[in-house]
Amino acid sequence: GAVVSQHPSRVICKSGTSVKIECRSLDFQATTMFWYRQFPKKSLMLMATSNEGSKATYEQGVEKDKFLINHASLTLSTLTVTSAHPEDSSFYICSASQGTRGYTFGSGTRLTVV
């Protein structure tokens, strides 16, 4: 079946630094990738939708300059959290879609900003 690989699974960074999270579709070409954020004991909140080769579409309230999304190829999307602060600590999850094949989720990245 379709597999999405998300790395790193855990990352701890210092406040003020940037962190990049990668999401790769391993056996299919993902025309669309989605990035979610999840706080403890809460639901997944969509941050942005990215299509290969075009700018990401951000949900209301999500700062595009803080959460940089790049979808440079049909198998790779990255989320960069710039100038991270403790309030950015969260669980980030990507999902990839390929037309009629539905959605495949990555395993998530636990970001802790200290």
Q: Which residues bind another protein (CB under 8 A)?
A: 6, 32, 34, 36, 41-46, 49, 91, 93, 95, 97-103, 105-108, 110
Question: Which CB sits closer to another protein, 88 or 109?
Answer: 109
User: Which residue number, 82 or 105, has a Cβ lying nearer to another protein?
Assistant: 105
CB of residue 55 to another protein, shortest distance in Å: 15
> Closer CB to another protein, residue 60 or residue 65?
60
Instruction: Provide the minimum distance between the beta carbon of 106 and another protein in the complex, in angstroms, as a whole number.
Output: 5
CA angle 26, 95, 32 (to 5 degrees): 85
The candidate with the shortest Cα–Cα distance to 82, out of 21, 36, 7, 5, is: 21
At 108 the three-state DSSP class reads: coil
Q: Is 22 exposed, middle or buried (0-12, 13-18, 19+ CB in 10 A)?
A: middle
